[in-house]
Structure 1
């Protein structure tokens, strides 16, 4: 139980204070003072530390070796000279913007010039895990205190809040009202960037504040929504009139996820990671169905990043019926990381220039609908110029021709998928830059050193006429790797450079063979050490 007097006074951790002094804030009057519980002395001047404590604190904070001395002259301030107060206000406020709000408030003791400076700062940063108050109510009071003491002329450029409600907090019922008050205060002060991460351990939180929907100055919105937190229904008109960047991370998606994605009229950059913890669905009944049906409808969207990852391998529902519909006629960059793949529908895919697609390997998730979804997605973006493809779980024969593709990054998890590489090269006639990444298989699926590769009879058009640079990363000197590299060196008529990133020495037999292998006169072969 928190006493009334404890609610009006909060303690701030300050390791630089000499023991047993404490830094306290009296919220009703907005005073910051120091208290010695042993001598029961209270004072407003910062207590000075004695030599023993200074030496101890110096050793704790500077345990690393001292740098060597230099002969560069340094203009040190004269004794008693206050150089901090000579800094312009704009520079001081800029410095305070990089500090957590509680640290910015503590700088009032550095110089008299800084006494009220923190009340003009435009960046507010609060974190319940970082600011270790004795009671959670003290953290709430501190946030309220900062909003009340800010200068009335200050607009907030960035409001960052990390809030975790402990399960045993008796005051958790006020979380929704407090969060609404704080966000509404930031909106009233014309906030430009809002960054909220809410981890709710109780059932007291009802949902996100609706005031963010109508904020006319909001340009950047970053939300981390934990399971059980409801996303309210957005208004049909006047929603997010200025929002340009939207990053939404959810841990428990459901059908209403699509509601907030359809009212973003001027959005240009969207990131949607879904980190679904399937442990919350362990008690699913046979008739229980929870599918994601989200539609991204934004006329100005240029960059879209979508990812779905499940934490549990064995669960009752699949993503066969999950659907992401994207209607973005100006979309240029698309990134999809899917484990496993949902149904993606691109209504205006021809504008996409850069695409990065990462699938789940078929060796681990052999679902019948997965290849169909992959074909549909890749067919929709067949006009891209730059493509990154990882862990392909399908046959390449049904893929479309990528006629405009000139840069390809291909991640091969197993060396026995080299046939996929040469087959894909037949689908990219204008390819100029190829980056191959050879990853290790999972435990128990090591690469066979005797694995052979049969070169195709027909040389891909891009290899004989357009391909100029090739990079191979993760080269181990296996026979199949050397065969692929030799095939490209032999048939790369216009190849200018091949770079091989490896952990083995150039003195190894496989590297020596490649260095002396026949290749185009203009082709340079270079070995580089792998950087981890």
Structure 2
């Protein structure tokens, strides 16, 4: 029987597409499979280099082999332009070699670049000026886990001229470098900054995030509570989606117009027992600047004396609380959001609250959203306490447009008694109530064990 060389019969375009999903080291190795594939790897628009995965991480020889291989691939003559490149480095490499690789990617018109390193270069690594000025680069992702990185001297004009997305995870970076880095990307549409900041020369640091075209912003800074705090000033008139992770030491200020903002997530880190003095005012100040949002997700401890701003356009609300009871804060939210349609409540951690301590005290007037708009309610972390039962009963009795209420209850609840009690609640419509019993351990992210369906007959 005559053997058929099916690999050589594959169209070059299909072969290139397949090789793009491989580590570049493996793609180059396929050159021995057939004569036609000998130089196919030189036409790859996607390159993927990872020193530990490709060549090990135990000795200097492996590092040298990796350096030679990357340089050979990037400098190979007559190679095509690069659409995507991932360069992941965990071992010590020559900083000049890394700089050369990045400059070569720029010359080869890279469009999307993922660059990560976690090693100590032994000397300060600066982003090459060529990368700042790259005209083809549209998506840049940086994961830098080192205190030897600096963003000094970005060009004053023409920085990242066509960049649309920047995702940066910067851990151990100095504040001065962070300030300069945030100021060098004015034309992007998507910006993600995540990092742990080292102490700077000043106790308070101001960071400007200016984006005339910015549509999505995600910011998460972590500061040492005994060191520097950060003030972040955001001026992005076209911003649509905002995610802020706050540690109590990072203050955020929305400057200029926020009319385009539709989706906002504010997530506080769990601060422990020591909270900054200004902490209770931070979420309220942010909410006051995003009063036009349609979707709000708030992860935070809550205080009964906070005063909410009017959220007239809010349709969807996810409220995740810890160190307190959502029953205490729900009434205020319902009255502040008259057009709310979908509500998600969640208790993030277990806590013990006596029935006599917390009571459901709704306002005399039924919230407009409950009587006119609210359609779905989901409650996670339901313990079956008296205040929770009264709250659920109130929502069911005063929500004529409710279609479904889903309750994720702890298995410690007496499930049959809970089912019977919900069955006895009077209703104004045929809202479906689903009781889901959860096996939990600390946080309400456990598995579903079984569920009850509560059907109401309104006739």
Q: What TM-score, normalized by structure 1, do the two folds share? A: 0.75
- Tell me, in whole angstroms, the C-alpha distance in 2 between the residues paired with 1:470 and 1:397: 23
Deviation at 1:481, TM superposition (A): 2.9
Residue in structure 2 matched with residue 140 of structure 1 by the alignment: 67
Structure 1 pair 187–363 and aligned structure 2 pair: CA distance change class (3 A): closer
Equivalent residues in 2 for 1:349-360, closer than 5 Å: 349-360=258-269
Residue in structure 2 matched with residue 54 of structure 1 by the alignment: none
Query: For structure 2, which runs of at least 5 residues remain unmatched after alignment?
Result: 439-445, 448-459
Structure 1 pair 97–396 and aligned structure 2 pair: CA distance change class (3 A): farther
- Tell me, in whole angstroms, the C-alpha distance in 2 between the residues paired with 1:236 and 1:205: 21
- Tell me, in whole angstroms, the C-alpha distance in 1 between the residues paired with 2:51 and 2:353: 47
Deviation at 1:472, TM superposition (A): 1.3
Q: Which of these residues, 222, 227, 249, is aligned with residue 317 of structure 1? A: 227
3-state secondary structure, aligned to 1:264: coil
CA RMSD of aligned residues (A): 2.4
- Tell me, in whole angstroms, the C-alpha distance in 2 between the residues paired with 1:206 and 1:507: 60
Residue in structure 2 matched with residue 179 of structure 1 by the alignment: 98
3-state secondary structure, aligned to 2:287: helix
Q: Does the 8 Å CA contact 1:267/1:301 hold for their aligned counterparts? A: yes
- Tell me, in whole angstroms, the C-alpha distance in 1 between the residues paired with 2:79 and 2:226: 55
3-state secondary structure, aligned to 2:426: coil
Residue in structure 2 matched with residue 21 of structure 1 by the alignment: none
Q: Does the 8 Å CA contact 2:166/2:191 hold for their aligned counterparts? A: yes
Deviation at 1:511, TM superposition (A): 2.7
Structure 1 pair 330–203 and aligned structure 2 pair: CA distance change class (3 A): same
Q: Give CA deviations for 1:472-509 in whole Å, capped at 9, x if unaligned.
A: 12334344333322221122122121122345499431
Q: Which of these residues, 274, 280, 301, is aligned with residue 371 of structure 1? A: 280
Q: Does the 8 Å CA contact 1:482/1:510 hold for their aligned counterparts? A: no
3-state secondary structure, aligned to 1:256: helix
- Tell me, in whole angstroms, the C-alpha distance in 2 between the residues paired with 1:331 and 1:429: 24
Residue in structure 2 matched with residue 523 of structure 1 by the alignment: 431
> Is the counterpart of residue 86 in structure 1 residue 12 in structure 2?
no
Q: Which of these residues, 198, 202, 205, is aligned with residue 292 of structure 1? A: 205
Structure 1 pair 110–245 and aligned structure 2 pair: CA distance change class (3 A): same
Q: Give CA deviations for 1:252-284 in whole Å, capped at 9, x if unaligned.
A: 2403322232333431100011134x6xx6xx9
Q: Does the 8 Å CA contact 2:123/2:148 hold for their aligned counterparts? A: no
Structure 1 pair 125–153 and aligned structure 2 pair: CA distance change class (3 A): closer
Structure 1 pair 90–516 and aligned structure 2 pair: CA distance change class (3 A): farther
3-state secondary structure, aligned to 1:391: strand
> Is the counterpart of residue 327 in structure 1 residue 327 in structure 2?
no
Equivalent residues in 2 for 1:204-243, closer than 5 Å: 204-225=123-144, 226-243=146-163
Structure 1 pair 454–373 and aligned structure 2 pair: CA distance change class (3 A): closer
3-state secondary structure, aligned to 2:336: coil
Deviation at 1:139, TM superposition (A): 1.0
Equivalent residues in 2 for 1:77-476, closer than 5 Å: 80-133=3-56, 134-149=61-76, 152-166=78-92, 172=93, 175-225=94-144, 226-251=146-171, 252-276=173-197, 289-310=202-223, 315-317=225-227, 319=229, 322-347=230-255, 348-361=257-270, 364-395=273-304, 397-414=306-323, 416-441=325-350, 445-448=351-354, 452-458=358-364, 459-476=366-383
Deviation at 1:337, TM superposition (A): 0.8
3-state secondary structure, aligned to 1:345: strand
3-state secondary structure, aligned to 2:408: strand
- Tell me, in whole angstroms, the C-alpha distance in 2 between the residues paired with 1:294 and 1:259: 9
Q: Does the 8 Å CA contact 2:241/2:261 hold for their aligned counterparts? A: yes
3-state secondary structure, aligned to 1:337: strand
- Tell me, in whole angstroms, the C-alpha distance in 1 between the residues paired with 2:21 and 2:429: 54
Q: Does the 8 Å CA contact 2:151/2:178 hold for their aligned counterparts? A: yes
- Tell me, in whole angstroms, the C-alpha distance in 2 between the residues paired with 1:273 and 1:426: 34
- Tell me, in whole angstroms, the C-alpha distance in 1 between the residues paired with 2:437 and 2:68: 55
3-state secondary structure, aligned to 1:515: helix
3-state secondary structure, aligned to 1:131: helix
Tell me which structure has the larger Cα radius of gyration.
Answer: 1
Structure 1 pair 202–215 and aligned structure 2 pair: CA distance change class (3 A): closer
3-state secondary structure, aligned to 1:178: helix
3-state secondary structure, aligned to 1:181: helix
Q: Does the 8 Å CA contact 2:120/2:148 hold for their aligned counterparts? A: no
Shifted more, 107-116 versus 301-310: the winner is 107-116
- Tell me, in whole angstroms, the C-alpha distance in 2 between the residues paired with 1:255 and 1:247: 19
Q: Give CA deviations for 1:348-369 in whole Å, capped at 9, x if unaligned.
A: 2222110000124566332111
Q: How many positions carry a matched residue from both structures?
A: 431
Residue in structure 1 matched with residue 452 of structure 2 by the alignment: none
Deviation at 1:406, TM superposition (A): 1.1
Structure 1 pair 473–393 and aligned structure 2 pair: CA distance change class (3 A): closer
Q: Does the 8 Å CA contact 1:253/1:274 hold for their aligned counterparts? A: no
